[in-house]
Structure 1
Amino acid sequence: MADARLRRRSVLTGGALLAAGAPALLVGCSSSDEPGDESGDDAGEPAASTTPPRLEDLDLSDWEVVRGQFALDPELAHFAAFVLASHPAPVRAAIERWRDAFDADPAATVAGELAHDEEVRTAAAGYLGVRPAEVALTDSTTMGLGLVYHGLPLCPGDHVLTTTHDFYATHEALRLAAARAGAEVERIALYDDPAAAGADELAGRVAAAIRPQTKVVALTWVHSSTGVKLPVRAIADAVADANAGRAEADRAILVLDAIHGLGADAARPGDLGCDVFVSGTHKWLFGPRGTGIVWAAPAAGAAVAPTIPSFTAPSFVNWLTGGDEPSPFGVGNTPGGYQAFEHRWAVTEAFAFHQAIGPDRVAARTQELATRLKDGLAELPGVRLVTPRDPALSAGLVCVDVAGRDPAEVVQQLLDQRIVASVTPYSEPYVRFGASIVTTPEQVDAAVEAVAGLAR
């Protein structure tokens, strides 16, 4: 009986420590709390099997130095690197260090889970200009959208507004959530010709479609179907106007799929005016594959009920003690269970890498290369530029129709010339290029020349 009381007391003590922020949860006994303790290393830092590059020792003002941090095949022009990231050297080194730590002592390494998750939240918050407690950790944009749309308190008769241009992940998450709640999902077109889209038209069509019953406006910052970048601030202002005079429970919230903006555009959630910002970190940010984040403003976050149990305080402690303390949005909506922690915890280095380069410089470089590419492609006979030439309405994605030819065939013929492009995964497919920090002006010119040859 005494042994049973001791075991119960130990568990509850662990729960109390957890509630206070102690980095220990559901782990076995170990001779050390963090990897590296036995050798006297700082707590929480895994023993390094390779020496990572020191960002302060790199001249990241030189774009060739930036490109040199990637292990991409130098014989290829990588205009599809945004689809799933290649890891820059600091991220690769961090993944390797964490993997080695788990292989050496998994119990000790996972004991630091809460602290290392918080380091990722802090890095993301610093980049986004928000509070760490407002950031949930996920494995992808798709997971984040599912968590948000299934966590919102939709009711029969509620109206959810989205567009025909959004990706499957948004459409399907909304369909499933609305079917369960009895809500209506409406899809509207924001433009007829993407290349001719204007900011006033884009914002105006959203504003005109908002009803008194609208509870969610679900949009994508940069459309992967066309490369159109929405004027999110103007749309957020239209949503705010529609909310004027509404009770708090009746307000519409603006949820943004930000996957093709994060790491390509320097705007932050506060600049954009959205209520919820959902993104993977493994595309334009070039973070670890299988990682993502969700940020929610306090009022919006309070309305999102967790869908997958979190293993962190207070929810886990509530289970232990019978309590009912609510969880902050960030930890409460970070799905529990063991993760690929070596990737999750290396997200910190991805944000640090972009911060060291400078988000504004990254955005300017992306825009410079995309503009060069659009200008070149727009002059080619037989090539129709789908993406707006206006830099305010596009980011790094550039989509084209090449002489009415099958986009998959064009992409294959480009690959034969060592140029890696992609096909938009939509019912109306286009050839798609992604100009980013791993491409060069010379490669942009080579891509234009190759497309010119295929269009003849």
Structure 2
Amino acid sequence: HHEAIRFATERNGASVRKFALFDEASTATVDGIVTRVHDAVRPATRVLGITWVHSSTGMRLPVRQIAEALREVNRGRAGNERVLLVVDGVHGLGAADETVAAMGCDFFCAGAHKWIFGPRGTGIVWARAENWARLKPLIPSFSDSELFTAWTEERPPAGPSNANQVTPGGFLAFEHQWAMGAAFRMHQQMGRARVAGRIRELNGRCKAGLQEIRGVKLHTPLDPELSAGICCFEVEGLSPDAVVKALLARKIVASTSPYKVSYARLAAGLFNTPKEVDTAVAAVRTLATA
């Protein structure tokens, strides 16, 4: 997504500016994050891009409150000057009890292979009709009949752009589409609130356990409203890679955050149990006291 931003800005002659939403994820607050967003918006700002759940720290941003702050900013702006809120939601979709259409974002994008258990390489882009209309398709769509009709009649396509026109192009990968449907139906059958509650319960248990271990620094907020299904931490005297290898030797799967500043990560999912969480925490305790 960082490269997508770079490509888009180079193509359109725009610029990108980055700012910190907090100093420390573990001590961040909703008001503090929203204030930084509000203060960072300038008259020339047209798009704010955020990641709902940070895989670097486990932080879950307060998207609704950020959207409300942008509504206040946009209240005095003309339509083509308002700030659009674009959300990368890959680690929140399927892990949090939220309705995308009610969050207040203008565009919501997410791969479905994480918490939804959909096929790799397939995701969703959600937007309201008026926001699709702002876009200019780059690749011919195979999904919108108006494009074909306009071609046969030798005229421009009628009406504004829509979701069917803004596609990767080519024929649909039907096996991926069928798998997506199955994954979403599975979540609907289990119940979104139940799924999110289970993830919150297990990862809350994990965070609470890690927080109590001397020599372990938890970077993910304890507040369940500012976290989801990722627990990021450090063990004093050990690199993140060393922590992951040591846990794997104990048959516990962890990972490192693939960023300039890297932490060890545990993520309790639907298939885990409280006992397994306790086992993982106990293993980290052993590493910290070795």
TM-score relative to the length of structure 2 = 0.95
Partner of 1:294 in structure 2?
A: 125
> Matched residues in 2 for 1:282 and 1:326: separation?
34
| Conserved? CA contact 1:229–1:392, under 8 Å | yes
Once residues 181 and 404 of structure 1 are traced to their aligned partners in structure 2, the CA distance between those partners, rounded to angstroms, is 47
Instruction: Indicate yes or no: 2:49 matched with 1:218.
Output: yes
Deviations 1:181-223 (A, max 9, x none): 2212110001111100100011110010111111100001001
Equivalent residue number for residue 137 of structure 2 = 306
Secondary structure (helix, strand or coil) at the match of 1:184 reads: coil
Shift of 1:320: 2.9
Residue 315 of structure 1 contacts residue 326 of structure 1 at CA under 8 Å; is this kept in 2?
A: no
Report deviation, 1:180: 2.1
CA-atom RMSD in angstroms:
1.3
Q: Could you say which residue in structure 1 is the equivalent of 2:236?
A: 403
The 3 A distance-change label for structure 1 pair 442 and 292 is same
Higher relative contact order (CA 8 A, sep 6+): 1
1:414 aligns with 2:247: yes
1 CA distance for matches of 2:234 and 2:54?
16
- Shift in Å at residue 328 of structure 1? 5.2
Whether 2:276 is the aligned partner of 1:446: answer: no
2:17 is paired with a residue whose SS is strand
Q: Give, in angstroms, the shift of residue 173 of structure 1.
A: 1.5
Aligned to 2:147: 315
Query: Which of 9, 19, 36 is the matching residue for 1:205?
Result: 36
1:329 CA drift (Å): 2.3
Question: 1:141-152 counterparts in 2 under 5 A?
Answer: none
Aligned AA (1:437): L
Query: What's 2:258 paired with?
Result: 425
Query: Counterparts in 2 of 1:243-254, with a 5 A limit?
Result: 243-254=74-85
Larger CA Rg, structure 1 vs 2 = 1
Structure 2 CA distance for aligned equivalents of residues 390 and 352 of structure 1:
30
The 2-side partners of 1:315 and 1:198 are apart by 48
179, 182, 185: which one aligns with 2:10 = 179
* 8 A contact 1:308–1:336 mirrored in 2: yes
* Partner SS for 1:214: coil
Give the structure-1-normalised TM-score: 0.61
Shift, 1:234, TM fit: 0.7
- Number of the residue aligned with 2:93: 262
Other-structure match for 1:231: 62
Q: Describe the SS at the equivalent of 1:443.
A: helix
Query: Are the equivalent residues in 1 in contact too, given 2:216–2:233 (CA < 8 A)?
Result: yes
Q: Quote the offset at 1:339 in angstroms.
A: 4.2
Provide the residue aligned with 2:189 in structure 1. 356
* 1:389 alignment partner in structure 2: 222
Separation in 1, partners of 2:220, 2:208: 11
Specify the SS of the correspondent of 1:442: helix
Is the partner of 1:217 in helix, strand or coil? strand
Contact between 1:310 and 1:316, CA under 8 Å: does it hold in 2?
no
**How far apart, in 2, do the equivalents of 1:195 and 1:398 lie?**
11
Q: Answer yes or no: is the 8 Å Cα contact 2:203–2:231 preserved in 1.
A: yes
1:20-419 matched pairs, under 5 angstroms: 169=1, 171-312=2-143, 313-323=145-155, 324-326=157-159, 329-419=162-252
Quote the Cα distance in structure 2 between the aligned partners of 1:191 and 1:247.
Answer: 30
Q: Which moved more, 1:335-344 or 1:272-281?
A: 335-344
**Counterparts of 1:318 and 1:418 in 2: how far apart (Å)?**
59
Q: Over residues 45-81 of structure 1, what are the superposed CA-to-partner deviations in whole Å (9 max), with x where a residue is unaligned?
A: xxxxxxxxxxxxxxxxxxxxxxxxxxxxxxxxxxxxx
Q: Distance in 2 between matches of 1:290 and 1:400?
A: 28
Structure 1 unpaired stretches of 5+: 1-168
Distance in 2, Cα, partners of 1:335 & 1:174? 17
- CA–CA separation in structure 1 for the residues paired with 2:272 and 2:146: 45
Q: Give the Cα separation in 2 of the matches to 1:422 and 1:316.
A: 47
SS in 1 for 2:139: coil
SS at match of 2:46: strand
- Determine helix, strand or coil for the equivalent of 1:427: coil
Distance 1:422 1:318 in 2: 50
